[in-house]
Amino acid sequence: MGICFTQSSTEKFSLLKALEVMHLTRFMDDKMNKLVRQNKGATFHLPVSGHEMIGAVSALSLTPGTDWAYPYYRDRAFAIGLGCSLVDLLAAFLARDIENHSGGRMMPEHYCQKNLRIPCQSSVVGSQFLQAVGAAKSAQLRGKKEVVYVSGGDGSTSQGDFHEALNFSCIHNLPVIFVIQDNGWAISVPVEDQTAGGSIAKIAKGYEGVAVYEFDGCDYLQTTEALKSAVEKARNNLGPSVVVAKVPRIGPHSSSDDPKKYKTEELLDAEKMRDPIARFEQWLLEEGVITSEELETLRKTHFEMIESAAVKADQFPMPSKSGAEDKVYAPFTPPESIVSEPGESIVLMDAINHALIEEMEHDAGVVVFGQDVAVGKGGVFGITRTLSDRFGKDRCFNTPLAESTIVGVAIGMSSDGFHKPVVEIQFADYSWTAMNQIFNELSSIHYRSNGVWNCPIVIRMPYGGYIQGGPYHSQSIEAFLSHCPGLKIAIPSNAADAKRLLKAAIRDPNPVIFLEHKALYRQRLFCARAETGPEEFLPFGQAQVVRSGTDVTVVGWGMTALMANEAAEALSKEGISVEVIDLRTIVPLDFETVLGSIKKTGKLLIAHEAARNSGFGAELAARASEEGFLYLDAPVQRVTGKNCPVPYCKDLEDEVLPQRKDIEAALKILSEY
């Protein structure tokens, strides 16, 4: 390193601490490599050799328990440096039953520890960046000087989420440090096939307001200098930094990989020669920080620390099989409803607006954000109108036009135990660009963290057709969502349900997708209701028997619940008695009410707007045959959207979406069975 260095005792302590973390990380790597072949619970190993210095120095630059950390899988040096116990890390590697790092639910090296403010990490390369930015936004809103650290490899910077995260953090001047551990490879893909121009640092400089550092991540002085500067910047609320540390990946990507298939012998040797530990040790000796005898003693001590931690880790049991399905949802019962005098008649969009106002008044942590939701417009449907005037721009703000940003930031913000983001995706049709954050991240954080972290987030999405919205403003996506464990899904069909369900959703510690039918927002005739009071909540999983009947049952939700009711009314004039059930929430599902009705009528029609193939009706029909077969006097029938995108022209749209007359006809046939 060739820089003259005179050490004080504090400096010596820092140097030896860094050495210790690096040694422990390397010796743990060696140990894991052996353990993976011993059939003790581990089947997979991600070596971190070569990345030790950047991880160790980063961790030692932060304040554990105050700052937030989103370390990626090759950042074990960071986890050790921040204070994760060696026993825990090894026990997690062996998939054992411990509180931290998922308790056997995640593969190794997915860090998660509440007291160290390491939220639950996933296997998805790159999705951590937006969550880190959300945590930084939360720190900013809470007025705290908390720094947020997030790391990733050079490959992860190709993900859109990385760029969305940089964009958002620059717009909001957030205290976040993006540490890119650039080993030049993403498994077998070299940087020239990965990054335009070969340098993510150059690209990052294009984001206004970000400080960019690029240096040799095996050089202690360069690494500490960059981290010190980035932490200072973040601590003083001067915005984000991108820290690109050039490091070697010494060894394979994982225990399933053979780098000889894509790296030459010369390159593999050259990477070994860059070993940050060998280089650091040599430098400490040259600078007279330690003698070779002291170094040997330290190596031995650190080696023994890992050996002894491994013995202790192996004493933890495997998680109990009986708990495999536990903690998909955090327990929750909404507050008891105190029913008020009925208020004025309001439509669904007013009900949602009023629920938001009441909950924002009730809880200072409730924040609303999304596209166009703030001042002036208040959302393209006007649902969030007045919120930013009433509660200020910190509590209702616009985001860039980036759905992954909206959900990723919400996840990060919700980690603080204070904020409850209620975000808007402008149209359900555009939720797909957020689906990685919804499916792979949000839905399973409670489960993956072994119940340690929650995501109290509500995602409101206008959905559905009948308004000539064409294929991109008409989709009904509830069946896709219902397939994802960990999400709750509400679909109100009238103003009273909408208000009480949304208030319950906001109080819920679990993620809720709140689907609002666009065609019902202003619908007065069938959807308006007397306003419910501020202490009225509707628990999820309670279907409503909208109309009682004896001949045939029809189940719907959203628009089809209304159509079914109209059809039932028409058929009553012909002497056919139809029981109409509005599910109101499809997850959790109140199948008891459906089954009770089947027992009475013996006939079931399911009506939904979404395409027929694998629609939620298929799930209901399956349940009806499993649990209601003995009570059925006719085959279960469905009236659904066609297996076709929803076209724009009214005549075409009417052909594709189910109509009231279709429900009526199907009910009539069933009743005659």
Ligand X SMILES: Cc1ncc(C[n+]2csc(CCOP(=O)(O)OP(=O)(O)O)c2C)c(N)n1
Supply the minimum distance, in Å, between the C-beta of residue 247 and ligand X: 9
Residues 571, 578 contacting (CB under 8 angstroms): yes
Select 185 or 537, whichever has its Cβ closest to ligand X.
Answer: 185
CB of 166: closest distance to ligand X in angstroms? 16
List 104, 153, 451, 641, residue binding ligand X (CB under 6 A): 153
For 538, the token pair is 């509707």
HSE (side-chain half, CA atoms, 13 Å) at 313 = 28
Report CA Rg, the chain. Answer: 28
> Site size for ligand X, by CB under 6 A?
17
> Which of 58, 121, 140, 156 is close enough to bind ligand X by CB under 6 A?
156
Part in contact with ligand X (CB under 6 A); list of ranges 147-155, 163-171, 255-263, 469-477: 147-155
**DSSP 8-state secondary structure symbol assigned to residue 61:** T
CB 426, CB 420: distance < 8 Å: no
**Which three-class secondary structure state does DSSP give residue 359?**
helix
Q: Which of 422, 317, 449 is nearest to 367 (CA)?
A: 422
Residue span 24-63 as binding mask against ligand X, x where in contact by CB under 6 A, dash where not: ----------------------------------------
Q: Judged by CB, which is closer to ligand X: 172, or 249?
A: 249
Considering the complex, what minimum distance in angstroms separates the CB of residue 21 from ligand X? Answer: 18
Q: How far is the CB of 36 from ligand X (least distance, A)?
A: 17
Residues ≥6 apart with Cβ < 8 Å to 104? 41, 92, 95, 96, 97, 318, 319
Give the interface segment with ligand X, choosing from 149-157, 207-215, 378-386, 532-540 (CB under 6 A). Answer: 149-157
Cα(273)–Cα(252) distance, rounded to whole angstroms?
16
Of residues 23, 473, 517, 608, which has the active-site annotation? 473
Tokens 């000889």 belong to which residue? 260
Helices of type H across 331-472:
348-362, 387-391, 403-414, 435, 445-448
For residue 103, what are its two tokens? 């308790």
* Least distance CB 50 / ligand X (angstroms): 9
74 counts as binding ligand X under rule CB under 6 A? yes
Q: Name the residue with the smallest CB distance to ligand X.
A: 153
- Show the CA angle centred on residue 587, arms to residues 584 and 592, nearest 5°: 70
Site for ligand X contains 186 (CB under 6 A): yes
Q: Where are the alpha helices (DSSP H) in 315-434?
A: 348-362, 387-391, 403-414
Residue closer to ligand X, measured from CB, 121 or 510: 121
Rounded Cα gap, residues 539 and 439, in angstroms: 24
User: Closest separation between CB of residue 199 and ligand X, Å?
Assistant: 14
Packing angle between helix 616-628 and helix 591-601, nearest 10 degrees? 60
With respect to ligand X, which residue has the nearer C-beta, 181 or 415? 181
| Sole window of 29-37, 119-127, 340-348, 470-478 interacting with ligand X (rule: CB under 6 A) | 119-127
| Out of 16, 124, 330, 545, the residue judged to bind ligand X by CB under 6 A | 124
Beta-carbon-side half-sphere exposure of residue 281 (alpha carbons within 13 Å): 17
**In angstroms, rounded to a whole number, what is the distance separating the alpha carbons of residues 248 and 246?**
7
User: How many of the other CB atoms lie within 10 Å of CB of 285?
Assistant: 14
Tokens (6 digits) for 379:
């959302």
According to the binding rule CB under 6 A, does residue 187 interact with ligand X?
A: yes
Residue 463 near ligand X by CB under 6 A: no
CB of 183 to ligand X, least distance (A): 5
Q: How far is the CB of 143 from ligand X (least distance, A)?
A: 34
Of 47 and 492, the one with the shorter C-beta distance to ligand X is 47
Q: Are strands 68-70 and 148-153 parallel, antiparallel or unpaired?
A: parallel
State in angstroms the smallest separation of the CB of 74 from ligand X: 4
Q: What is the 3-state secondary structure (H, E, C) of 151-211?
A: EEECHHHHCHHHHHHHHHHHHCCCCEEEEEEECCEECCEEHHHCCHHHCHHHHHCCCCCCE
Instruction: Using CB under 6 A, pick the residue from 78, 185, 280, 453 that binds ligand X.
Output: 185
| Site for ligand X contains 101 (CB under 6 A) | no
Nearest Cα to Cα of residue 157 among 118, 128, 119, 137: 128
Closer residue to ligand X (CB): 153 or 421: 153
Nearer to ligand X, 100 or 181 (CB): 181
Q: Which is nearer to ligand X, 47 or 175 (CB)?
A: 47
The answer to whether 152 contacts ligand X (rule: CB under 6 A) is yes
| CA distances (Å), origin 256, targets 251, 253, 553 | 11, 8, 54
446 flagged as catalytic: no
Q: Which of residues 243-272 bind ligand X (CB under 6 A)?
A: 249, 253
Q: Binding string to ligand X for residues 162 to 181, with x set by CB under 6 A, is what?
A: -------------------x
Stretch that binds ligand X, among 123-131, 462-470, 538-546, 615-623 (CB under 6 A): 123-131
Interaction between residue 519 and ligand X (CB under 6 A): no
- Nearest 5 degrees, angle CA 443-CA 63-CA 79? 55
Answer whether 568's CB lies under 8 Å from 531's CB: no
Name the residue nearer to ligand X (CB basis): 151 or 475.
151
Is residue 477 within 8 A of residue 610, CB to CB? The reply is yes
CA proximity to 479, closest of 519, 532, 515, 531: 515
Given 63, 123, 320, 345, the residue binding ligand X (CB under 6 A): 123
The answer to the question of residue 380 lying near ligand X (CB under 6 A) is no
Instruction: Name the residue nearer to ligand X (CB basis): 31 or 110.
Output: 110
Q: How far is the CB of 613 from ligand X (least distance, A)?
A: 27
409-448 residues in contact with ligand X (CB under 6 A) are none
- Kindly list the residues in this chain that would bind ligand X in the complex (CB under 6 A): 74, 123-126, 152-156, 181, 183, 185-187, 249, 253
Q: Annotated active-site positions, please?
A: 473
